Amino acid sequence: AQSVTQPDIHITVSEGASLELRCNYSYGATPYLFWYVQSPGQGLQLLLKYFSGDTLVQGIKGFEAEFKRSQSSFNLRKPSVHWSDAAEYFCAVGLSNFGNEKLTFGTGTRLTIIP
């Protein structure tokens, strides 16, 4: 079965600084990979996704992520964070075979932005 690890429970960065959130997955084939963001009191919003092609994917709100097969990683990055980026971020992996599209989520990384 697939699994996802987000090793950082909580990260604090200064506004304007760069950000990288880590995600590692375990799956035998090329998975579908996703990053979701959850603002306080809200549901989950899709930031970006990868399922094939260019390994550097661009998402909404200025985020990007890079799929590295050799490292089984899909880290999320942003060059300069804004106070509004404070939220919880979830990495998720899905099976790439038709007919069994269940997502497995990581435990999340809470991002705090300081002025």
Residue among 58 and 80 whose Cβ is closer to other proteins? 58
**Cα(102)–Cα(41) distance, rounded to whole angstroms?**
24
CB of 8 to other proteins, least distance (A): 13
**Cα(22)–Cα(56) distance, rounded to whole angstroms?**
15
Q: How far is CA 59 from CA 73, 99, 114, in A?
A: 17, 26, 23
Residue among 48 and 81 whose Cβ is closer to other proteins? 48
**Cα(11)–Cα(88) distance, rounded to whole angstroms?**
10
Residue among 28 and 98 whose Cβ is closer to other proteins? 98
CB of 44 to other proteins, least distance (A): 4
CB of 13 to other proteins, least distance (A): 21
Interaction site with other proteins (CB under 8 A) = 6, 9, 32, 34, 36, 42-46, 49, 51, 90, 92, 94-108
Residue among 72 and 104 whose Cβ is closer to other proteins? 104
CB of 107 to other proteins, least distance (A): 4
Q: What is the DSSP letter of 9?
A: S
**What's the CA dihedral at 54, 90, 95, 62 to 10 degrees?**
-20
